[in-house]
Amino acid sequence: MGLWFVWKTTRPLQQLKDAVSKYNPSYRNMGLPKGDTSEIGQLMNTFSSMSGRIQQQHQQQIEFLQNVSHELRTPLMSIQGYASAIKDQVVSVEHGLNVVTAESERLIQMVDWLLQLTRMETVHEEWKLTEVDLQDMMEHVHQLIAPAAVDRSILTTLDAASLEMAIPAEQIFQIAMNFMQNAVRYASHEVKLSLEEMPGGFRICVDDDGPGVPVHERDSVFDRYYTGQTGITGIGLAICKQIADRLGAAISCTESALGGARFCFEFQQDGL
């Protein structure tokens, strides 16, 4: 009986040890042992569940890299194509250089986003608090987005009153800009930026009249691995989520009264 008890105890532990030593997230069907209701069995089931989550994360990372590589490749191909066209005198130098400059700036922005996302996930930086008038900040955002909105014949409006507060201004400005850039990209005719004072904080919301975000995707739209219906990886929204989490703030995607998407950022000073 003693030998049987020892064997019954050590056998599942040996199975678990063998499984852990051979585990590789790239291998999908490793045949991990399933445990019973005992404590050792529960440990085995916990490891099996954990390995499943690791494999899912690994697969998402691969898909993320594939999507980002595709997005980086697009401006690079445009730059290469127009550089060759200029060389062969197929297009005018002025037109070719304009395209090369625009695509270079787009490429730099994407790389900066990737670096920022990686840095926020690995390095804890202290964000400086600055006393600012949020109305001025929103007006600046509105002015900067105006050229892109005009190019797409999008009407943009601003609803904001004066509100002075000590905030990490650079990070919150980035969230508002990203919300507006996405809204202008997907809107049909109209985008609205609003600032609302709340007890101890404020709410920034951007509404558009575009196709919106399906209900089943609203929880994952801020995920770094999320790919929208257009095949674009939402790196900017992932950065917004990282900023909100660091600030203890709330960020959300819902349906807009305009018929499209509504992105909101709610900040409380006591969340810092």
Per-residue pLDDT of the chain (272 residues; tens, 9 = 90+): 555 555 556 666 676 677 666 666 665 555 566 666 667 677 777 777 777 777 766 666 666 666 667 667 778 888 889 899 998 888 898 988 988 888 888 788 777 777 766 776 665 667 889 999 999 999 999 999 999 899 999 999 999 999 999 999 989 999 999 999 989 989 999 999 999 999 989 999 999 999 998 898 888 888 766 666 554 556 788 888 988 998 999 999 999 999 999 999 999 887 55
Alpha helices in the chain (DSSP H): 2-22, 39-87, 93-122, 134-151, 169-186, 235-247
N- to C-terminal Cα separation, the chain: 60
The radius of gyration of the chain's CA atoms, rounded to the nearest angstrom, is: 25
Phi, psi of 266, rounded to the nearest 5 degrees: -115, 125
Give the Cα separation of 192 and 176 in Å (integer): 12
Give the Cα separation of 21 and 32 in Å (integer): 12
Query: Which amino acid is residue 173, in one-letter code?
Result: F
Helix or strand (DSSP H, E) at 131: strand 130-133
Question: What pTM value is reported for the model?
Answer: 0.66
Closest CA to 84 of 103, 100, 98: 100
Closest CA to 51 of 66, 38, 35: 35
Closest CA to 120 of 242, 213, 219: 242
- Residues 131, 165 contacting (CB under 8 angstroms): yes
